[in-house]
Amino acid sequence: MKSIEIEQVQNVLEGFINKEVYIHLETTNGAYTGHFNKALNAGVYIRNAQVSFSQAKIVPAEIGYRIGLKMNLGWIYAEGLTDWEMFEDTKLLMAGHDEDGRLMVALEISETPFSF
């Protein structure tokens, strides 16, 4: 993966606008991040949610970047993203890693469903 370059990622995001796409969104402070406070356990995992969004925006955040996808009835957003990679010209993977390289958040967008 390479570090996010805002203009490149924005261009890729715009290529998914008004298409039926599949989303994978995951946050964790569990197995990957067991070094944090054990009293707080929060996470999100959703895979193969089929959505369409009319706007996509990447902006700097306190750590990394925040990406928002505007849907008809709301938003999807992920914050703390630091790295990205494109696969097969139809799958965008963005991830946020801490200073030691541990995964904190992942957001993927694909024109085809993700495998299990």
Q: How far is CA 15 from CA 20, 34, 48, 103, in A?
A: 12, 36, 19, 26
Q: Band of the pLDDT at 22, cuts 50, 70, 90?
A: very high
- For residue 33, the model assigns a pLDDT of 47
- For residue 42, the model assigns a pLDDT of 73
The domains of the chain are located at: 2-110
Taking the C-alpha atoms of residue 39 and residue 12, their distance in angstroms, rounded to an integer, is 38
- For residue 35, the model assigns a pLDDT of 53
For 46-104, how does the pLDDT look when each residue is reduced to its tens digit (9 = 90+)? 999 999 999 999 999 998 999 999 999 999 999 999 999 999 889 999 999 888 888 89
- For residue 115, the model assigns a pLDDT of 87
Taking the C-alpha atoms of residue 80 and residue 94, their distance in angstroms, rounded to an integer, is 10
Q: What is the CATH number of domain 2-110?
A: 2.70.180.10
